[in-house]
Amino acid sequence: MDYLPLFHNLKNRPVLLVGGGEQALRKARLLTSAGARLRVVAPIIHPELAALAQSPARREYREIDLDGVQLAVAATNNSTVNACVAKDAQQRGIAVNVVDAPELCTVIFPAIVDRSPLIVAVSSGGVAPVLARLLRARLESLIPAAYGRLAQLAGRFRQEVKRTLQAPAQRRIFWEEVFQGRVAERVLAGQENEAQRLLQEKLQEKQADATGEVYLVGAGPGDVDLLTFRALRLMQQADVVLYDRLLPADILDLCRRDATRIYVGKRAAEHVVAQEQINQMLVRLAKQGKRVLRLKGGDPFIFGRGGEEIEQLAAEGIPFQIVPGITAASGCAAYAGIPLTHREHAQSVRFVTGHLKNGSCDLPWADLVSPAQTLVVYMGLGGLPFICERLIAHGRAAATPAALIEQGTTAQQRVISGTLADLPEQAARQRISAPTLLIVGEVVKLRERLAWFNPSS
């Protein structure tokens, strides 16, 4: 981050503006709209600018002009004068902005969307101001003018909400529901009295209901772009995040920044937190009034133990939502260029896990060897030699195409193709490591023509 965005309170505070032309006038309009007491210095001053200033000084700039000001702005067409203002201000520790010279600035004027008291500022750090203005224009069309009135309504009720809802988490939930629900809709429709009545009703309801909620969310197979809109919205609302081992950092970073994060990852024979403890944790946190995000890789209902977790929530009467994610089979196969079904090669697909609850790999082998079926094995790397051997022993041809996908959909994706006979030896030689997905079937042959994702290129 090149600049830390801050909002400066200039109400009734002195600001020095050096310059008297059109550029200075544009800055003056912004500064006075923010309540600044404007001190303007320039040999020639635009009449409108002079009217905005308090006792404008028609002369050259002097260092003494900086006495007592909170901010200095240099907006002349003389680079020497501008540089002098910047140097003097920085020596005094005064924030300074120089028009069209970001290298001399300690603060930058952003492009502004004004929905007071709601303010949105966009800046490129002086590198591409036209781009910032274009983005502001887009935001102007997306943010209704009534949002200012909505913010004012919230301001009138802020202290009452604080008195009524003692816990910060409760207040956060309340306001998010207000800003995304019927209260906001009534304000946008110009029905502010009705909006106020609905807000009061909602506050009374929220005071009586202190129960939290659990969001069971599938984060997909790894590529952050595969998150659903709903997943992202709930990730930004949650107070607590329970996350798994396979979640990439760029996905976890999309959760609300001040949310508490609890790692509950698992790998074969190594459980940081037992499943039963996770179930109990979800219940306990929700009963504390928190919104709890259970964030899982892939889809929570496909070998994600999501069913076990919501069973206990349902038994305890805890509200919950479920957001499906793109499961590894769909995501990894697509990124590897392997269609799971194809009219000429596979009319069905079967998902199995290579790591069962009791630690064994005792699968219904006779059901998995149909030549017109694609077999997808989750968590099968550890038992890969055994899985391939069992499939061959139960009738699947040793020459059946098979592929192992490592870290599918990510920049680290690797795909090893071979047959049931030689894939285990290839995986060992190339040191494939989890997470992986095994795909067995004639559709694997199509990868040679359909592969499109090449993260190394």
Burial state string for 332-353 with b = 16 or more CB within 10 A and e = fewer than 16: bbbbbbbbbeeeebbeebbebe
Quick one: DSSP state of residue 233?
A: H
| 83 annotated as belonging to a binding site for a ligand | no
Q: Which residues contact 398 (CB under 8 A, 6 or more apart)?
A: 392, 419, 420, 421
> Token match 């504390």: residue?
288
Torsion of Cα atoms, 208 then 291 then 270 then 385, to 10°: 120
- Is-catalytic flag, 244? yes
| 408 annotated as belonging to a binding site for a ligand | yes
| 19 annotated as belonging to a binding site for a ligand | no
- d(CA 235, CA 439) in angstroms, rounded, equals 31
Q: Which residues contact 457 (CB under 8 A, 6 or more apart)?
A: none
How far is C-alpha 56 from the geometric centre of its chain's CA atoms?
Answer: 48
| 93 annotated as belonging to a binding site for a ligand | no
> Token match 């203005």: residue?
133
| 262 annotated as belonging to a binding site for a ligand | no
Instruction: Please choose, from the candidates 101, 106, 104, the residue with its C-alpha nearest in 3D space to the C-alpha of residue 126.
Output: 101
| 88 annotated as belonging to a binding site for a ligand | no
- Is-catalytic flag, 162? no
| 281 annotated as belonging to a binding site for a ligand | no
| 297 annotated as belonging to a binding site for a ligand | yes
**240-243 β-sheet, strand order:** 260-263, 240-243, 291-296, 213-218, 320-323
Q: Which residues contact 261 (CB under 8 A, 6 or more apart)?
A: 240, 241, 243, 252, 255
Quick one: DSSP state of residue 84?
A: H
| 200 annotated as belonging to a binding site for a ligand | no
Burial state string for 140-170 with b = 16 or more CB within 10 A and e = fewer than 16: eeeeeebbbbbbebbeebeeebeeebeeebb
Instruction: Please choose, from the candidates 21, 25, 74, the residue with its C-alpha nearest in 3D space to the C-alpha of residue 43.
Output: 21
| 379 annotated as belonging to a binding site for a ligand | yes
The single residue of 266, 287, 422, 445 carrying the catalytic annotation is 266
| 1 annotated as belonging to a binding site for a ligand | no
| 299 annotated as belonging to a binding site for a ligand | yes
Question: Torsion-angle region of residue 96: left (phi > 0), alpha (psi -120 to 50) or beta?
Answer: beta
The single residue of 27, 88, 244, 290 carrying the catalytic annotation is 244
| 317 annotated as belonging to a binding site for a ligand | no
DSSP 269-332: TEESS-HHHHHHHHHHHHHTT-EEEEEESB-TTSSS-HHHHHHHHHHHT--EEEE----HHHHH
Task: Determine the 3-state secondary structure of 401 from DSSP.
Answer: strand
Q: Which parts are annotated binding residues for S-adenosyl-L-methionine?
A: 221, 297-299, 302, 327-328, 379, 408
Q: Which residues are catalytic?
A: 244, 266
Q: Which parts are annotated binding residues?
A: 22-23, 43-44, 221, 297-299, 302, 327-328, 379, 408
Q: Which parts are annotated binding residues for NAD(+)?
A: 22-23, 43-44
